[in-house]
Amino acid sequence: MKINVNKWLVLLIVMAVTGCASKSSDGTYVAILKSEYSIAEDTVILKGDLIVNRVGYHRIMNGKWMPKQFKVKRWQINAPDAPVIEVGINEIYIGSTTYKLISR
């Protein structure tokens, strides 16, 4: 009986440690956004407590694509101006935009 109790104790400890370990959301996530006025390739890179958002976009004026423009923003996680990021399975959500994981 003593051996059985020890096995249960070890199992409970392993389950507790496994359950408490958080999975890292670090990686590169992308979203392609299209409208009649622009096409954007939006990339979010999560690494540690740093968030980097890189956007490349073409404006569309009178049916013609304008030269590609770029924007880069950086935040620390939990900074007052940082976006709220919801983590899913192989994707993240910022507002109503879904970003798919492309690399870890």
| 1 belongs to a structural domain | no
Flag whether pLDDT at 84 surpasses 60.
Answer: yes
Domain count, the chain: 1
The pLDDT mean for the chain works out to 85
- The residue with greater pLDDT, 74 or 17, is 74
| 16 belongs to a structural domain | no
Calculate what percentage of the chain has a pLDDT beyond 70. Answer: 78
In 60-93, which positions are buried (b, 16+ CB within 10 angstroms) versus exposed (e)?
A: eeeeeeeeeeeeeeebeeeeeeeeebeeeeeebe
Flag whether pLDDT at 21 surpasses 90.
Answer: no
Q: Where residue 59 sits, what CATH number does that domain have?
A: 2.40.128
Domain of residue 35: give its range.
Answer: 23-103
Q: Residue 64's pLDDT is what?
A: 95
